[in-house]
């Protein structure tokens, strides 16, 4: 097939991108989005600071634009993210104990409830682990509520949107290492105890020198626990063939793991990437296809 989305669809997968509705007025942005991708995620618009800037006052304007565009184009939507220690509304940081726990529940009910039936998979909890595989100790949720907040978040999200797939999402968990071992143990425990978790997201923010030798094996071991896996925020700092090779390796790994449901790149054009100076995406600042684009398209079509 000729596009990323159509090529991924040949094996029942999606190929998505993070988007910012603020760029919808730019024609090449929208044209590239509509032409190439069949799934989207809000790069920032569904985060807590945006969706509930004051307690109990929800703002879905940006997120609704993302979902509205996706529905008009027949694209899937990933939800990002319900509970994260970062990009948190300042009022949440003032709460402690039971009040914080209740605010978390209310937030999940408010946001996942608003989008009920429209989200294919939610990043219910984002980035809760430290590099050594223990729970991240600079998280206000962790400090106030302890390990149990993650389980509580998944149970709440399951009730708020029973049809969405519920994911745990993190970075630097892309290979087999201390951090991915920590997440693995949590997922194994959740599956054993019947906590509703359906999927794990691997952000996959890479550089050309990232060791990808255990990437596929890592996706597979999570899949073997009985969850789907998603490549959720792919980008690769670098250029040329080295960058293309990393993209190819990740794409081939996803295709080789039956439960890998799809790949999302973290933006369309290098110009608007959070790592713009590292030119990490598939289209350059003028929306021209890069070598990495060709590598991904070829990998998707040789599966």
| Secondary structure of residue 19 in the 3-state scheme | strand
The first and second tokens of residue 245, run together, are: 């090779």
Give the number of residues in contact with ligand G3I, rule: CB under 6 A.
9
3-state helix, strand, coil in the chain (%, to 5): 45, 20, 35
Asked if 65 is part of the footprint of ligand G3I (rule: CB under 6 A), the reply reads no
Which residue, 26 or 291, is less far from ligand G3I as judged by CB? Answer: 26
Q: Binding residue for ligand G3I (CB under 6 A) from 5, 16, 43, 89?
A: 43
Choosing from 36, 43, 152, 233, the catalytic residue is 233
Query: In the stretch 272-291, what mask flags binding to ligand G3I with x, by CB under 6 A?
Result: --x-----------------
Which residue, 58 or 274, is less far from ligand G3I as judged by CB? Answer: 274
Asked if 241 is part of the footprint of ligand G3I (rule: CB under 6 A), the reply reads no
Asked if 203 is part of the footprint of ligand G3I (rule: CB under 6 A), the reply reads yes
Active-site residue 233, yes or no?
yes
Residue 152 CA, distance from chain mean position? 20
Q: Give the C-alpha separation, 112 to 119, whole Å.
A: 8
Q: Binding residue for ligand G3I (CB under 6 A) from 87, 102, 134, 241?
A: 87
Q: What are the two backbone dihedrals, phi and then psi, of residue 81, each rounded to the nearest 5 degrees?
A: -145, 155
Give the H/E segment covering residue 14. strand 14-19
Pairing mode, strands 39-42 and 260-265: unpaired
Choosing from 127, 152, 252, 278, the catalytic residue is 127
* Residues near 105 by beta carbon (within 8 Å), at least 6 away in sequence: 152, 156
Which residue, 86 or 302, is less far from ligand G3I as judged by CB? Answer: 86
| Secondary structure of residue 276 in the 3-state scheme | helix
Q: Binding residue for ligand G3I (CB under 6 A) from 52, 158, 174, 233?
A: 233
Active-site residue 258, yes or no?
no
The contact set with ligand G3I (CB under 6 A) reads: 43-44, 86-87, 126, 171, 203, 233, 274
Catalytic residues, which ones?
127, 233
């Amino acid at each position: 097939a000729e596009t990323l989305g159509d090529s991924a669809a040949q094996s029942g997968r999606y190929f998505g991108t993070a988007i910012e509705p603020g760029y919808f007025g730019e024609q090449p942005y929208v044209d590239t989005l509509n032409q190439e991708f069949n799934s989207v995620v809000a790069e920032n618009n569904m985060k807590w600071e945006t969706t509930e800037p004051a307690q109990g006052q929800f703002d879905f304007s940006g997120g609704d634009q993302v979902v509205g565009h996706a529905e008009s184009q027949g694209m899937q939507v990933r939800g990002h993210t319900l509970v994260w220690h970062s990009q948190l509304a300042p009022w949440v940081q003032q709460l402690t104990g039971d009040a914080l726990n209740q605010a978390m529940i209310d937030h999940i009910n408010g946001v996942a409830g608003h989008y009920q039936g429209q989200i294919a998979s939610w990043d219910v909890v984002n980035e809760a682990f430290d590099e050594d595989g223990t729970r991240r100790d600079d998280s206000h949720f962790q400090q106030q509520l302890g390990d149990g907040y993650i389980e509580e978040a998944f149970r709440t999200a399951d009730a708020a949107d029973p049809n969405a797939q519920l994911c745990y999402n993190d970075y630097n968990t892309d290979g087999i290492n201390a951090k991915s071992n920590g997440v693995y143990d949590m997922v194994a425990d959740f599956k054993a105890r019947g906590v509703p978790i359906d999927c794990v997201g691997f952000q996959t923010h890479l550089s050309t020198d990232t060791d990808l030798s255990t990437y596929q094996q890592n996706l597979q071991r999570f899949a073997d626990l009985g969850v789907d896996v998603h490549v959720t925020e792919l980008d690769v700092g670098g250029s040329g063939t080295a960058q293309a090779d990393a993209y190819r390796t990740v794409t081939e790994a996803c295709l080789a793991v039956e439960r890998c449901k799809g790949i999302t790149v973290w933006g369309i054009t290098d110009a608007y990437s959070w790592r713009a100076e590292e030119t990490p995406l598939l289209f350059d600042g003028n929306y021209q296809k890069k070598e990495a684009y060709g590598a991904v398209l070829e990998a998707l079509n040789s599966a």
